[in-house]
Amino acid sequence: MRELTYLEAVREAMSQEMRANEDVFVLGEDIGVYGGAFGVTRGMIEEFGPERIRNTPISEAAISGTAVGAALTGMRPIVELQFSDFMTIAMDNMVNQAAKIRYMYGGKGKVPMVLRTPAGSGTGAAAQHSQSLEAWMAHIPGLKVVQPSTAYDAKGLLKAAIDDDNPVIFYEHKLCYPKKSDVPEEAYSIPLGKADIKKQGSDVTIVATAIMVHKSLEAAEELQKEGIEVEVIDPRTLVPLDIETIVQSVKKTGRLVVVHEAVKRGGFGGEIASLIAESEAFDYLDAPIKRLGGKAVPIPYNPELEKAAVPVVADIVTAVKETLNRL
């Protein structure tokens, strides 16, 4: 074990898989000598060469279409989209091709590809480069959706995604890139569809994704000073979703707060809340489920307005206290 940043863990996962399997390659804009928009692929072209670290034209439709075709012929492509907002240009290939082919071919065809993309606000990238659109992709049968929050999870989940025979959308929050955690040197895999309890607690359950996991842990530390024990769960994958871990936690705590950066309206938090309301955990609830999400506005360029557009630690603290009638 040694400490790596999230960004380094993603790079290491790709490099280890490429050494182990010649069918794995990476394609995307400026991923070669430049090393990608956020430096994730930096140095990889020196080891693997331009045939396997393939710079592409500025066309997300061409990139995603090439990946679908390569996957159908037995390759295992890893797409890097510079920003998750650009999924809008790749939607036809991902939604109407990658997600549908296995079903339409009666299971005889498969599309083993990963589409990695940085997501979220906090870097001053403004309205067209800062969105959190994971709920869109979670709505599509045939796609798997992964959203790790730590370096350890990112490496293990990316290996599992590359090895999977289905198309996987792999969201990497930009603010998670510099965050460090202990990561094994050897390759390892974390099963898709297995949540992780980041902190044990008995009073309230928080289910959070991506950077909101870290903000929820900060909120839990503050609340602990007041004698409130919060359990923090990171689903890690939205599709498949480990709802059973959340159900068991809510049965224990009797309260649930769901937090994501994506706009609250239509966000995946609504799905989690509905599943709990439909489950055996509903009878154990002692307070209404609370949902926190981004405001229904484009992400502003102004730094203070950008912060105001998404949940912060203080918002999470307040939500938890509201469920406990402690305000």
What pLDDT, in 10s, does the model give residues 138-194?
A: 999 999 999 999 999 999 999 999 999 999 999 999 999 999 999 999 999 999 999
Do 165 and 230 reside in the same domain of the chain? no
- Whole-number pLDDT of residue 291: 98
Say whether the peptide bond before residue 240 is cis (omega within 30 degrees of 0): yes
- Whole-number pLDDT of residue 327: 77
User: Looking at 183, 213, 238, which one is the last position of a domain?
Assistant: 183
Do 177 and 202 reside in the same domain of the chain? no
- Which letter, b or e, does each residue of 165-176 get, where b requires 16 or more Cβ atoms within 10 Å of its Cβ? ebbbbbbbbbbb
Do 170 and 247 reside in the same domain of the chain? no
Decide if 128 is inside a domain: yes
Domain that holds residue 30: 2-183
Decide if 46 is inside a domain: yes
Q: What is the CATH number of the domain that holds 290?
A: 3.40.50.920
- Whole-number pLDDT of residue 231: 98
Catalytic residue, candidates 129, 173, 214, 260:
129
Q: Is 46 left (phi over 0), alpha (psi -120 to 50) or beta?
A: alpha
Cβ proximity of 154 and 188 under 8 Å: no
Return the half-sphere exposure (C-beta side, CA atoms, 13 A cut-off) of residue 66.
17
Instruction: Report the alpha-carbon distance of residue 125 to residue 302 in Å, rounded.
Output: 10
Both tokens assigned to 291: 């949902």
- Whole-number pLDDT of residue 19: 98
| Residue matched to tokens 């796609």 | 143
Cβ proximity of 40 and 13 under 8 Å: no
Q: Is 260 a catalytic residue?
A: no
Instruction: Report the alpha-carbon distance of residue 103 to residue 141 in Å, rounded.
Output: 10
DSSP letter for 208, please.
E
- Whole-number pLDDT of residue 215: 98
- Whole-number pLDDT of residue 305: 97
Instruction: Report the alpha-carbon distance of residue 10 to residue 152 in Å, rounded.
Output: 9
Do 206 and 163 reside in the same domain of the chain? no
Both tokens assigned to 159: 């290996």
The domain tally of the chain equals 2
Instruction: Report the alpha-carbon distance of residue 165 to residue 102 in Å, rounded.
Output: 10
- Show the low-confidence residues of the chain (pLDDT under 70): none
Decide if 188 is inside a domain: no
Both tokens assigned to 230: 């919060």
Do 163 and 271 reside in the same domain of the chain? no
User: Looking at 183, 206, 241, which one is the last position of a domain?
Assistant: 183
Radius of gyration of the chain (CA): 20
- Whole-number pLDDT of residue 326: 87
Do 243 and 162 reside in the same domain of the chain? no
Q: If we measure between CA atoms, which residue out of 263, 278, 258 comes closest to residue 136?
A: 263
Considering the entire predicted model, what is its pTM?
0.97
User: Looking at 183, 210, 229, which one is the last position of a domain?
Assistant: 183
